[in-house]
Amino acid sequence: MKLPEIIPVTDLRQDAAGILKKLKESEGPLVVTQRGRAIAVIQSVDAYERGERERQLLRQLAAGERDIAAGAGRSLDEVLREADALLDGGGA
């Protein structure tokens, strides 16, 4: 995993448009610092949405693990359809 770029908040204030353009062109997030300490993480909307889809898929996998442990569950076809929908950008 690539380390995120770090920028001071003053650079963000002085060149917000340039930094947003750079962010849109990159895959990774930017860490904004103030007085040498991280205060925020900025990422593109595409990266955010991709991360949310991945987190939703992980939540569904964890729920499936709990169902299996409890002796309940769903068919493999149903689970794969839901996973495909999430990965394609749709909802469950």
The full set of domain ranges for the chain reads 5-43, 46-87
| Predicted TM-score of the model (pTM) | 0.62
- At residue 11 the predicted structure's pLDDT band, cuts being 50, 70 and 90, is very high
Q: Which fold has domain 5-43?
A: YefM-like fold (3.40.1620)
pLDDT of residue 31: 95
The torsion angles phi and psi of 2, rounded to 5 degrees, stand at -80, 140
Strand partners, 37: 34
Tell me 2's DSSP state: P
pLDDT of residue 92: 47
**Position 87 pLDDT exceeds 60:** yes
Say how far residue 51 (Cα) sits from the centre of its chain: 2
**Model confidence pLDDT, tens digit, residues 28-54:** 899 999 999 999 999 988 889 999 999
